Amino acid sequence: PVAVSLAGFTSGADAARIARDARRLARQAGRAVISEDLFAVALPPDDRPPEIQRRIAVHEAGHTVMQMLRGRIPRSVSIIGIGTLGGATITEGVIEESRAVDLDARIAVLLGGRAAEEIILGSVSGGALSDLAEASRLAYEMSGRLGLGDHLSVGGDSAGDSVDRAGIESQLRRIYGMALLRMVERKNDLVDLADLLLDRRVLGRQALTRFARERGLIQEDTPGAPGRMAG
């Protein structure tokens, strides 16, 4: 994540300065250099309006809290936007999930950003709409291709051939309702994680694991969840 976020911003001289400054921060903290040190000294200023930065932080915190409640720690979470308004929650590898309960949980993670925005900010953004579109696509795939819906037919020339649209709408509303409930239950954690993201702009796995354990969001450091959720 460090290399990706800094691509195009650093020359050889910049890299040497970043390394020196990161080592200085680590010495002051009495530990080895971690990715957050590199980000702290290397990232360009964020000139987006404060309200946009906060919305992105809340959105990514929602994804992340839902991941943690699932028993997974993301590899990193960032509110850095290069060329866009978005941040990103990056997870480890790809895990093939085929049980309905697992895919329901994956949809809940996708909708966690939208739920967080609604609970904390009272409205949702374009990023939340994008997540909803991806959640809808996954729900259609579950029902039509994987045969995990209430009907026995699978396949078809298109997703709409074999799925129960009303059932999928009901499923998405049910999962989103659960995500909203979790955001209400964990509102303090959500706000604190968003504030931490605003302060540090990027959080690595070590910092996220520490936060999750301190807040009782997770007991064990388990592998990351599938894919990459972008805000």
62-95 tens-digit pLDDT: 999 999 999 899 988 988 764 444 566 666 544 4
Rounded to two decimals, what is the model's pTM? 0.71
- Region 220-225: mean pLDDT is 48
Confidence (pLDDT) at 7: 46
Alpha-carbon distances of 53 from 50, 115, 194, rounded to whole Å: 5, 17, 10
Residue 110 has pLDDT above 50, yes or no: yes
141-182: pLDDT as tens digits: 776 655 545 443 334 444 444 457 888 888 899 999 999 999
Confidence (pLDDT) at 111: 94
At 154, list the tokens: 């699978």
Q: 83-112 b/e with 16+ CB inside 10 Å = b? A: eeebbbbbbbeeeebeeeebbbbbbbbbbb
141 is catalytic: no
Binned at pLDDT 50, 70 and 90, residue 217 comes out as very high
Is 92:221 a contact under the CB 8 Å cutoff?
no
Confidence (pLDDT) at 119: 97
Of 28-37, 81-90, 203-212, highest mean pLDDT: 203-212
Closest by alpha carbon to 195, among 95, 58, 94, 67? 58
Alpha-carbon distances of 22 from 7, 19, 44, 46, 200, rounded to whole Å: 17, 5, 15, 19, 14
* Calpha distance 217→229 (Å, rounded): 19
Please pick, among 36, 60, 97, 118, the residue that the annotation labels catalytic: 60
- Region 184-192: mean pLDDT is 98
Is 79:200 a contact under the CB 8 Å cutoff?
no
Q: Coil, strand, or helix at residue 125?
A: coil
Q: At what angle do helices 35-42 and 12-29 cross, to 10 degrees?
A: 120
Number of H helices, E strands in the chain: 9, 4
Of 47-56, 88-97, 125-134, highest mean pLDDT: 47-56
Domains of the chain: 2-42 (no CATH), 50-230 (1.20.58.760)
Q: 136-145 b/e with 16+ CB inside 10 Å = b? A: bebbbebbbe
